[in-house]
Amino acid sequence: MFNKLYSNIKEFIVENYKFLIVWGIIIFLFFYEFPFVIYTPGGVVNLEERVEVSDGYDSEGSLNMSYVSLVKGTLPMILLSYIIPNWDLVNSSEITSEDESVSELLELERLYMRSSIDNATILAYQTAGKSIDITREVNNIVFISDEANTDLEIYDELLTADGKEIKTVDELREIVNSKNEGEVIEFTVNRNGSVKDCSAKIYDTSDGLKVGISFLTTYEYDTDPEITVETRSSESGSSGGLMLTLAIYNALVPEDITKGRTIVGTGTISLDGTVGAIDGVKYKILGAVKNDAGIFLCPDENYEEALEVKEEFDLDIVIHSVATFSEALDYLAS
């Protein structure tokens, strides 16, 4: 039986080898990913359709997050980038660190999005005078320097350092600065559900003593009223933080800050209300204009670039820069 099956397969290959070669080439050309990505003008997401607050308030306008579309570098997409305006080809090494793939970068960006949602929720509830009780802080390691001498890993949840619970970067920095170069700090971390003992050796830099790690904090909390923020598996990053904070706040208060307008924007958000810089302003503004936005909010650091894009493409849109969440509220109120 096996011999007969082998004979049939061999006969099929011999009779159809040209067809199989052509299909093999087609599959390679359309699915093989070269070490490039293509940035393209994105679109907007109406965040008020993603935010559901129990007994929340509706709005006449909309608060939208702008985004950049990232296309993987298959051969057809690479060729199209030379034809379609504002499709910009970028080497993957320019957006990833050494030994990091685009997929790994996107996974990390999803963690940043989780942190951004937490910051937006906490800030919006506190500003609106609503109840939010933070029950747990989770410190996730998101960067390890090449100079670090450690067995810590990316995505480890940092529990203790030198036997002390760590909640902030300043607490870890204080421990590091209390020691000398070459000394070792003992850590405990949660790695994939298991507690692990790790260590890191302190080294000296021009900026002072370091262990070579950075972490990102996410939160667990209870809210009143209850809130649900919907996300999609394809979405990542923290650049929607400002607009998400505005959308949550708008659902919590009776006054409609949109006043019937289509408002698009970008910018990260911190717990203290600071609006941080983002990448890809060009693609975000073009996407906003494509979706008939009247106002585009952006961080102060990106303002000059945003004005250059508006002038270069002769765009009919109001661009306003903000440094804090309260500035954004004041501007929309006026």
- CATH for 136-217, among 2.30.42.10, 2.40.160.60, 3.90.45.10, 3.40.50.150? 2.30.42.10
Instruction: Give residue 308's pLDDT.
Output: 95
CATH number of the 36-130+225-333 domain = 3.30.230.10
Name the packing angle between helices 102-128 and 325-333 (round to 10°).
Answer: 60
Beta-carbon contacts of residue 201 (< 8 Å; ≥ 6 apart):
149, 150, 182, 183, 184, 211
Q: Where exactly does CATH 3.30.230.10 map onto the chain?
A: 36-130+225-333
Max mean pLDDT among 2-16, 90-104, 117-131 falls in 117-131
Average pLDDT, the chain: 86
Binned at pLDDT 50, 70 and 90, residue 24 comes out as confident
Q: Is the pLDDT assigned to residue 2 strictly greater than 70?
A: no
Instruction: Give residue 14's pLDDT.
Output: 66
Average pLDDT over residues 180-191: 93
Q: Is the N-terminal amide bond of 299 cis, ω within 30° of 0?
A: no
